[in-house]
Amino acid sequence: MNEVFDKEQAPKEQARVEQDRKYILAFHKIFSINLNNLYERIKQSYGSFEAAWQAEEFPFRMGLTKKQTEAFVQLKKSIDPERLEEECFRKKINYVTRSEQRFPFLLLQISDIPCILYYCGEISLLANNCLAIVGSRQATVYGLKQARVFAEELSNNELTIVSGLARGIDAAAHEGALTGKGSTIAVLGAGLDELYPRENRRLFQRICEQGLALSEFPPGTKPLSHHFPIRNRIISGLSSGVFVIEAKARSGSLITCDLALEQGKEVFALPGVVTSPNSIGSLRLIQQGAKLVIYPQDILEELGYEYRAEVYNNQKAKIEDISKTEKRIYNLLSWEPVNIDLLLERNMGQEEMVLRILLELELKGLIKQLPGKYYVRV
């Protein structure tokens, strides 16, 4: 496990940190992530955030502009630290500050350290060894399939999967991890009460129940486009490496990879079809030295884990157990969608049999029907 906690703090220091929590929360409500840059200056200038909150000269001592000072004074009038904390808890949102022992040690090593993390779920997951899986929002069926399979297999091999809860590869990676024996961490680019995209609400609820959802943005923060590149440093910061599954030439996933390299982390990439726009980013990463990945064990071996092929073996056992006729139909399918018309063309005069076998294969969890009467392996 990664070292997450600092040395044991003295009881007096612990009491001060505990008392400061709600005042840090109040400052963060006003400054949001800009508090990251003021955090250490406030501690050095006042000794505690409680003292800073009560100090009338605070805006001048911190060198705020006239406009910033006016905004600070106005906003401060509407904020009661204790009520603000109670409001968070009513929304079932907890938080941890940079000064606390529970704050993840790995995030203390990155640039622009978050001053506070809001969370729902199991905070102890921050102590786990993690791998980030990121990729295209407009993922192909192949990409979604690989994200689920890799995440499940890596989860079964003691890695916690970190991603950003975006549609596409992120969501598929979270789903795969929840299917496995491990768990997953979602890092959001908005407040935890402003979920984006809405289509992932059920997945978000599952993560809160079985994993951990994190955000450095205060509750009520909308999912603005510039928030997502900002949160990527946390995704890479929590992880031993970043694995890219499908990325276009100009992709947010590549920003995460750049951040990972700056943090001294490994970068992995899954190759794709060279004619697909979704593959260009991944292939460029491989050209530039990212480790080419074909199987989950490629990542595990690089990170020093012994591979346990549970997902592969389970699927292999299912395939070996089907009849010759079922296997013939199964072999006509691939990871890319195949239309029913092609299957019927290859089995002329046997429409009823083909439809029956497709249904049986789907019930056995070997294939999946997509809209438009397309079928893929799972």
Average pLDDT, consecutive stretches of 10 residues, N- to C-terminus, the chain (378 residues): 49 81 96 94 93 92 89 93 95 95 91 96 93 94 93 92 96 96 95 95 96 97 94 94 90 85 91 87 90 92 75 71 85 79 78 88 84 80
Exposure pattern of 229-266 as b/e (b: 16+ CB <10 Å)? ebbbbbbbbbbbbbbbbbbbeebbbbbbbebbbebebb
pLDDT value at position 10?
65
Residue 212 sits at φ, ψ, to 5 deg, of -150, 130
Q: Domains, the chain, ranges and CATH?
A: 11-121 (no CATH), 123-308 (3.40.50.450), 322-377 (1.10.10.10)
Structure tokens at 133: 């899986």
Give residues with Cβ within 8 angstroms of 215, minimum separation 6: 117, 118, 119, 187, 188, 189, 190, 191, 192, 221, 231
Residue 184, SS3 per DSSP: strand
- Taking alpha carbons only, the member of 196, 190, 138, 130 closest to residue 163 is 130
pLDDT value at position 79?
95
* Strand partners for 10: none
Residue type at 280 in one-letter notation? I
Residue type at 49 in one-letter notation? F
CB atoms within 10 A of CB 140: 20
CA-to-CA distance for 181 and 157, rounded, in angstroms?
8
Q: Are 153 and 296 in contact (CB under 8 A)?
A: yes
Give residues with Cβ within 8 angstroms of 330, minimum separation 6: 319, 322, 361, 366, 367, 377
pLDDT value at position 330?
85
Q: Are 240 and 129 in contact (CB under 8 A)?
A: yes
pLDDT value at position 8?
52
For the chain, where are the alpha helices, taking DSSP H only?
A: 11-31, 35-46, 49-54, 58-61, 66-77, 81-90, 141-156, 169-179, 201-210, 227-237, 252-262, 277-287, 296-302, 310-320, 324-330, 340-346, 351-363
pLDDT value at position 232?
94
Look up the pTM and report it.
Answer: 0.79
